[in-house]
Amino acid sequence: MYEWGPPGNPPIALMHGGLDFAATFDLLAPLLVESGYRPVAWDQRGHGESARAALYSWQADLRDAVAVLETVSSEPIPMVGHSKGGMMAMFLAEALPGRFSHVVNIDGVPTPKSAVTDVSDQDRPDELASGHEAWLDRRRLSAVAKRKPGSVDDLARRRHRLNPRLPIGWLRYLAAIGSTNDGDGHRWKLDPSIPVGGFGPRRSQWAMQVMTSLSEPLLALVSTVDEPMGWHIDPDEVAPFLPPRGVLEVIEGGHFLHLEQPEELRRLIVDFVAAP
Amino acid sequence: MSPSRDPYGDPTWLQHNRVKLALHQLDEHEKRVGHPLLLLHGLGEESPTELPAWAATWPGSVYALDFTGHGRSTVPEGGGYTPEILIADADAALARIGPATVAGRGLGAYVALMLAGSRPSHVRGAILCDGPGLTGAGPEPPRGVIAGLDEPSTSRESPDHWALLELSQDPRPPDYAVNFVRDASNGSPVEPAIAVVATESTPWLDAVVAEPAVVVLSLEAAIELYAST
């Protein structure tokens, strides 16, 4: 768990996205301190410095978040989440009414067509079974699997393929913090058994219902540039499903808006949270 | 757990990521003819301590697996259970014993179905039986609920408290289950790939039964069917 700023400042929770870690807030958090807040972030289980677990699930991530937030404040606090963290923020707000004053979702709102993972069988002849078999093959190796080693520069360059808009210097910073040197090179600390993709019954309408029925003020930030790690959100499709106190802002940029434009995000978040 | 619960010696230990799984052999270790039968228990249960009477006629060896958090298998810290991860538990058993007929009770029936659809060439028929944990949450996830939030526990006893909570609240949409039936039917060496013995009605199972490639019959008949394939 990480905290920035004086203990007396009002807290604001920051939740990182899937496969990431809290250091992705190292640009935004100090700006929020300047604006008088006490940002609080943590590495999710199996990510960054946090312990690797035997099991990972959406429910476990939500429960871990509640355990962290219980140590922060018993008053309603604003909550910011990026990508998967933004989706988590909405599910947490629904499950814990009155616990959060505001929800800010950075490029992680659901859309009617996203996450439709269970397409009809006409659209996927043998694709599903073979995908599951490949996943099972990886699980059979999971007790011994390791990430590919390399120098910090190698890790930064690989990550650059996923985040082509981020400066290589910043990716080197992330790679240096997010990796350890095992003797034969640096590897990301992220647990290699955490599924990329994976499968399970996920339906976009379940997440849409959660968003639509939020009673807290919601600021949904949507990026304009598609990236490999992005969610390809079409703001026109999202707008009809905003909750009564929901605001959608489209921002020129990529999926990691808080890394690309920390000043702009600070302004948007602080203005939104200060409004009644 | 008494060390003598395996009738013919200690279980075989299988490593699945950070979990040690107990695989029990329920028949004598003498040479058997034909492919093995793998039993998957229900939610909160554990493997039987002796060969069930209905499996006595099985020509091959009979194994039973304790899922993660159950029986003698590892009870991990902090939960995080999904039925999908249990497919990989069962697949770890297939990696050891080879292609098998898989018979599951309750939660184990749902896992057996998904295993048959995910590893179709290695499942010589899946038998779905009644038992605890058959339904999960139903077709949709419960709204506004985080599993286990109000009942935290640090107990590491078996069956795992988190397994009981999380695996009774996971959504099981009927069309999701039907995908596995179709994948099993397309890739299975045996026909029908899925036999339903369960009589309980629950949305995912009702949809499975409605598939033309699925047969509904008694446990004895299902055993006879797959013993000879």
Alpha-carbon gap, residue B6 to B64, rounded angstroms: 10
Provide ipTM, 2 decimals.
Answer: 0.93
- Name the residue facing A59 among B144, B166, B187 (closest C-beta): B166
Minimum CA–CA partner of B177 in chain A:
A201
Q: Maximum distance among all alpha carbons in chain B? A: 54
The residues in B 57-76 lying below 8 A from A, measured between CB atoms, are 68, 74, 76
pLDDT for A128: 61
- Name the residue facing B84 among A97, A142, A199 (closest C-beta): A199
pLDDT for A145: 85
The answer to whether residue A71 neighbours chain B at the CB level (below 8 Å) is: no
pLDDT for A146: 86
Total-model pTM: 0.94
Q: In what order do the strands lie in the sheet with A38-42?
A: A2-3, A38-42, A11-15, A77-82, A100-106, A218-223, A246-251
Instruction: State the smallest CA–CA distance between residue B54 and chain A in angstroms.
Output: 30
Structure tokens given for A113: 């067509």
Facing residues of B215 across strands? Answer: B195
Task: Report DSSP state, residue B138.
Answer: B
Distance of CA A1 to the CA centre of its chain: 15
pLDDT for A117: 39
Task: Report DSSP state, residue B144.
Answer: T
pLDDT for A125: 36
**Chain segment A260-275, per-residue pLDDT in tens:** 999 999 999 999 999 8
**Chain segment B116-145, per-residue pLDDT in tens:** 999 999 999 999 999 999 999 999 999 999
Give the helix ranges, DSSP H, for chain A.
28-34, 58-70, 84-95, 127-140, 152-162, 168-178, 204-212, 235-238, 257-260, 262-274
Low-confidence ranges of chain A (pLDDT < 50): 115-127
The residues in B 92-121 lying below 8 A from A, measured between CB atoms, are 92, 95, 114, 117-120
Minimum CA–CA partner of A145 in chain B:
B17
Torsion of CA B173, B178, B180, B185, to 10 degrees: 170
| Residues of chain B contacting residue A198, judged by C-beta atoms under 8 Å apart | 84
Alpha-carbon gap, residue B61 to B28, rounded angstroms: 8
A201 vs B87: CB contact, 8 Å cut-off?
no
Spatial contact of B173 and B208, defined as CB atoms under 8 Å apart: no
A128 vs B119: CB contact, 8 Å cut-off?
no
* Single-letter amino acid, residue A165: R
Alpha-carbon gap, residue A231 to A204, rounded angstroms: 12
pLDDT for A115: 45
Per-residue pLDDT of chain B (229 residues; tens, 9 = 90+): 444 567 777 999 999 999 999 999 999 867 688 999 999 999 999 999 999 999 999 999 999 999 999 999 999 999 999 999 999 999 999 999 999 999 999 999 999 999 999 999 999 999 999 999 999 999 999 999 998 888 777 888 999 999 999 999 999 999 999 999 999 999 999 999 999 999 999 999 999 999 999 999 999 999 999 998 8
| Residue B80 exposed, middle or buried by CB count within 10 Å (0-12, 13-18, 19+) | buried
